Amino acid sequence: MDPTQNTNKTSLPNALPAPAAGRAGDDSTSPHTKPKRRFFTAAYKLSILEKLDAATERGATGVILR
């Protein structure tokens, strides 16, 4: 066996470092936390519907909904 060859299979030169531990009680990095849901008021939804009704050009509906 050539002594210049690295036969140590456990060394990973390109391995990423372990992520830093969060603060005690900080669940923001937990995979089980649910993202906060957005909610829209009835007035906002009504304004979107009014814009859609007023749209007359081809493709305007898609622009509004994006």
Mapping DSSP onto H, E and C, the string for 6-63 reads CCCCCCCCCCCCCCCCCCCCCCCCCCCCCCCCCCCCHHHHHHHHHHHHHCCCCCHHHH
pLDDT at 64 over 70: yes
- From residue 37, give the alpha-carbon distance in Å to each of 9, 34, 40, 49, 55: 46, 9, 10, 22, 29
Express each pLDDT in 12-63 by its tens digit.
Answer: 556 666 666 555 555 566 778 888 899 999 999 999 999 999 998 999 999 9
Nearest one of 39, 63, 43 to 52, comparing CA atoms: 63
pLDDT confidence of residue 50: 94
Would you kindly state where each structural domain of the chain is located, as residue ranges? Answer: 39-66
Q: Which one is predicted more confidently, 61 or 8?
A: 61
pLDDT confidence of residue 49: 93
pTM (two decimals): 0.44
